[in-house]
Chains A and B, each alone.
Chain A
Amino acid sequence: MNTILRLLVPAAREAVRGRWLLGLMIGLALLGELLLRFSGGGPTTLVSLLDVALILTPLAGLVIGTMQVHHAREVTELLLAQPIARGRLFIALYLGTALPLALALVIGLLAPFAWHGLLVGPDAWRIVALAAASGALALVTTAFAFIIALRADDRVRALGIALAVWLVAAVLWDGLILLIALGLGARPIEGPLLVMLAINPLDLARVLLLLGTDAAALLGYTGAVLQRTLGTDVGRLALGSALLLWLTVPPMVAARVFARKDF
């Protein structure tokens, strides 16, 4: 544990030094402030912020994670030549990248709400849940970035793959769901819908957050379908379990790739 902490601190310091995280944090805080000033702070603000957070978080996780692995390549080799177990080095590198990113997102999302005194009261948990989901997605997507960057030694290729993954997960996936829903016609869509949502952590987080707010009502018929099919306790439990799997499986896969990699 001591070794992990000793490695984690400089890795996190290195991640923070890039200034990307600071920019992301300030950008999110400014956006939140603008939304709060111009649209009140009701469900519309939350849904707008949710859309931005769910687009930005995976992009940041995938890009920053990929860059960090390649950036730290020489230091990783230097450390691997020391009597340090690979598993510990991986944990330190992964958490040293993912935790500062998650923290930057959480602070950036919460700061304007804290500034306006909206972090207390019965509705405060909604923005806290959004910030927590963004933090969780940062952990998931950084793990994906590690898998990509460890498998693709070429920096440009790795970044290209990471951007392609983001494009599919954040943009094209919803179109695919729509196509499948249309293709199914009058047949029941609950089963396929649940599977399609479960295999994309972004959609999973979005649906979980929407179900937890009144915002589902803003989505009209789609929101009603979501509320009916997944808004039950069983539905929420299934989606929550899937999110938990996303939080654990990708880092474990990344750790395995790291353990077996020839540097």
Chain B
Amino acid sequence: MIHVRGLAKRFGTRVVLAGLDATMIGGRVTALLGPNGAGKTTFLKILLGLARADAGTVAVGDRLLDGSPEYRRQIGYMPQIARFPAHLSGRDLLGMLAALRGDDMAPDLSLADAFDLGDQFDRPLGVLSGGMRQKVNAVLAMAFRPSVLILDEPTAGLDPLACRVLKDRLLAERARGTTVLITSHVLPELEELADDVLYLDAGRAAWAGAVRELERHTGEPTLERAVARLLAGGAALAVA
């Protein structure tokens, strides 16, 4: 579970998060949406410890973020652009991360098998195609059995078959109680995966609730159309 209260962040005079309240529940997939500049990336960065909030509290699982890095043991993160050291292979990188984390359990490589990565997992990442690197990115995010998954445009660059494999895995993660937070511009894909929507506008949660509720609220039949309505109508429509 991720629990956020009064999260605020500004860069200079620009307010990016203005008292964000949100809760993402275990066993559900939450789609993080909103117009450009709404604060989505900053929110994700604060969750990951890459940026520091000016005010507010964040709890991941049973841990309140207090500057200690230990809470990140629970998080699997898939960045949008996976720029890994070119000379390392996926397996090298996984080995390095496993050694750094000092976990007792062996990494879970079932997703690498499902992607049929084969010897691609042992080739230097610099010679792999973008899609292949994205598969490695997904494998690394899930290798340490996280209870919270944060995925930034996870299917970018993946072929339809790999997309299906990844979505099946995400649904399996949801079934085992993982909290999944996902951003994507491919809304039909989110329609298939997401249970809830967290729609940010001007640094606040302009809509937070189930996908079906949002569709009912906007009178639109699909998530894509409902989000388009929110984008067109802004926060006024969202909180109406």
Contact = CB atoms under 8 A, between A and B. Distances in A.
Interface of A: 3, 6-7, 10, 14, 17, 74-75, 77-86, 260, 262-263
B229 interface: no
B101 A262 contact: no
A10 to B, nearest CB: 7
A7 B97 CA distance: 10
B148 to A, nearest CB: 11
Interface in B50-76: 50-52, 68-73, 75
A10 B52 contact: no
Contact of B48 (A7, A14, A80): A80
Contacts of B49: 80-81
Q: Which of A81, A82, A260 has the most CB of B within 10 A?
A: A81
B65 to A, nearest CB: 13
Interface stretch (B79-87, B115-123, B232-240): B79-87
Contacts of B77: 81
A79 B100 contact: yes
A68 to B, nearest CB: 12
Contact of B97 (A77, A82, A86, A263): A82
A14 B87 CA distance: 9
Contacts, number: 59
In the A-B complex, the 3 residue pairs with the smallest Cβ-Cβ separation, listed nearest first, are: A74-B83, A262-B51, A263-B50
B75 A81 contact: yes
Interface of B: 11, 45, 48-52, 68-73, 75, 77, 79, 81, 83-85, 87-88, 96-97, 99-102
Contact of A83 (B85, B96, B101): B101
Given A7-B100, A83-B69, A85-B68, 16 more contacts: A3-B102, A6-B96, A74-B81, A75-B85, A79-B100, A80-B49, A80-B50, A81-B48, A81-B77, A82-B69, A83-B70, A83-B71, A83-B101, A85-B69, A86-B69, A262-B51
Contacts of B75: 81
A10 B100 contact: no
A26 B52 CA distance: 44
B79 A263 contact: no
Nearest to B52: A262
Nearest to B47: A81
Nearest to A13: B87
Given A6-B96, A82-B97, A84-B100, A77 B69 contact: no
Contact of A81 (B50, B70, B84, B102): B50
Contacts of B81: 74
A75 B87 CA distance: 13
B110 to A, nearest CB: 21
Q: Which of B50, B71, B99 has the most CB of A within 10 A?
A: B50
B84 A77 contact: no
A260 B102 CA distance: 25
Contacts of B52: 260, 262
Nearest to B140: A78
Contacts of A17: 87
Contacts of A262: 11, 45, 50-52
12 contacts: A6-B96, A6-B100, A17-B87, A78-B79, A80-B49, A81-B77, A82-B69, A82-B97, A83-B69, A84-B69, A84-B72, A263-B45
Nearest to A77: B50
A10 B85 CA distance: 10
B101 A82 contact: yes
B79 A77 contact: yes
A86 B81 CA distance: 22
Nearest to B73: A83
Contacts of B83: 74-75
